[in-house]
Amino acid sequence: MNLTNSDKNLRYCSLRKAKDHHFPLQIRSLGYNSPINFYEIKQMITFKTTMGDIKIALNFDKAPITAKNFQQYVEDGFYKGTIFHRVIKGFMVQGGGFSSGLEEKETRETIKNEASNGLSNSRGTLAMARTSDPHSASAQFFINLVDNTFLDFKSETEQGWGYCVFGEVVEGMDIVDKMTLVDTGRMGFHDDVPKEEIVVESTLVE
């Protein structure tokens, strides 16, 4: 990964193999704002990781398809044993698709992109990762470390769809921030992989 030196607030990642990888394609670090407000939260999820617990509130009101999809993966035990395989300080941490050793997991069908729901990719929010196809999200997700509003929905075009926010971290954001202290590197075709695996040991639906 090559970072620009001229602008400390602007970072770009390589688009190499973009169609085969689930991630936000452009990386930009913006300022911090207060977390967005979530209404009619119907479920709480806890991820117990090797670095500590992360409690997540799902927004079924604004992102019903995406929240239900995520909850179903949790209830099925899909995320147990998965790793946070992509960690970029000043941007986001990503997980939900690989087990130890970067073994890719088989997922269910992809879901509709609900990014036009009015929710923003603010610090602490969860959004679905995807390929360049706007409607290709399945199980992988990322947690925004800063306000990444450039990932928000702009228009129903390939470049404008954005990334669907469907929940937020309500406890344990300090654990998410701590993930960025782990050294990262390249492993296979993947960049920004933590050299010390950050594993989801178990998940809990409350």
- Tell me how many degrees the CA angle 175-176-178 measures, rounded to the nearest 5: 65
- What is the per-residue burial (b if ≥16 Cβ within 10 Å, else e) of 129-151? bbbeebebbbbbbbbbbbbbeeb
Tell me, yes or no, whether 20 lies in a domain.
Answer: no
Tell me, yes or no, whether 138 lies in a domain.
Answer: yes
Tell me, yes or no, whether 116 lies in a domain.
Answer: yes
How many domains in the chain? 1
- Its domain, for residue 157, covers 44-205
Per the CB < 8 A criterion, the answer to whether 165 and 115 are in contact is yes
The first and second tokens of residue 8, run together, are 């400390």
Q: pLDDT 10s per residue in the chain (206 long)?
A: 333 333 333 333 332 333 344 545 433 333 334 344 444 445 899 999 999 999 999 999 999 999 999 999 999 999 999 999 999 999 999 999 999 999 999 999 999 999 999 999 999 999 999 999 999 999 999 999 999 999 999 999 989 999 999 999 999 999 999 999 999 999 989 999 999 999 999 999 98
> What is the CATH classification number for the domain harbouring 157?
2.40.100.10
pTM: 0.81
